[in-house]
């Protein structure tokens, strides 16, 4: 993994709730870091995670990368099939959502700040209602 992303990930793990980190940051994978262009490319395993991370965490990821690199860093996000294929890329948030709702699954969705990504809540609720 690219060192700047490892360092950013550790910073974010300390700043966010465990639920936020596991659900949204941990599944991200560094695709490339171009030091000359000052650009970090991150891959999300699917569009849902990509949209949520972009809207809720992009500014904080950019700030952490900028602080660590000691110069402005542009962060680009994309859906990356390799991110989905790596172990641990599928976080338990949607897997738990498809299982019967338990206290821990409900807490996982309620501990962090509300997401404003269109369709995220509907997607999760739909997954909870599907028979397993």
Which pLDDT score is estimated for 80?
A: 87
Q: Where are the alpha helices (DSSP H) in 57-119?
A: 58-69, 81-85, 92-98, 103-110
CA 93 vs CA 19, 33, 73, 107: distances in Å? 9, 28, 29, 11
For each of the chain's 132 residues, which pLDDT tens digit applies? 589 999 999 999 999 999 999 999 999 999 999 989 999 999 999 999 999 999 999 999 999 999 999 999 999 999 987 544 444 444 444 333 333 333 443 333 444 455 555 555 555 555 556 555
Asked if residues 83 and 48 have their Cβ atoms less than 8 Å apart, the reply is no
Which pLDDT score is estimated for 95?
A: 38
Angle between helix 3-15 and 58-69 (nearest 10): 120
d(CA 58, CA 68): 15
d(CA 90, CA 23): 9
pTM: 0.62
Phi, psi of 16 (to 5 degrees): -100, 165
d(CA 81, CA 34): 21
């Amino acid at each position: 993994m690219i060192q700047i992303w490892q360092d950013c990930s550790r910073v974010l793990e300390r700043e966010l709730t465990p639920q936020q980190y596991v659900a949204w940051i941990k599944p991200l994978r560094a695709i490339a870091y171009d030091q000359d262009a000052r650009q970090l490319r991150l891959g999300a395993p699917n569009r849902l995670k990509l949209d949520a991370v972009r809207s809720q965490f992009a500014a904080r990821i950019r700030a952490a990368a900028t602080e660590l690199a000691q110069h402005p860093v542009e962060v680009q996000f994309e859906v990356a099939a390799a991110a989905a294929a790596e172990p641990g890329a599928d976080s338990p948030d949607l897997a738990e959502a498809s299982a019967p709702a338990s206290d821990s699954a409900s807490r996982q969705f309620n501990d962090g700040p509300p997401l404003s990504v269109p369709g995220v809540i509907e997607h999760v609720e739909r997954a909870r209602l599907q028979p397993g």
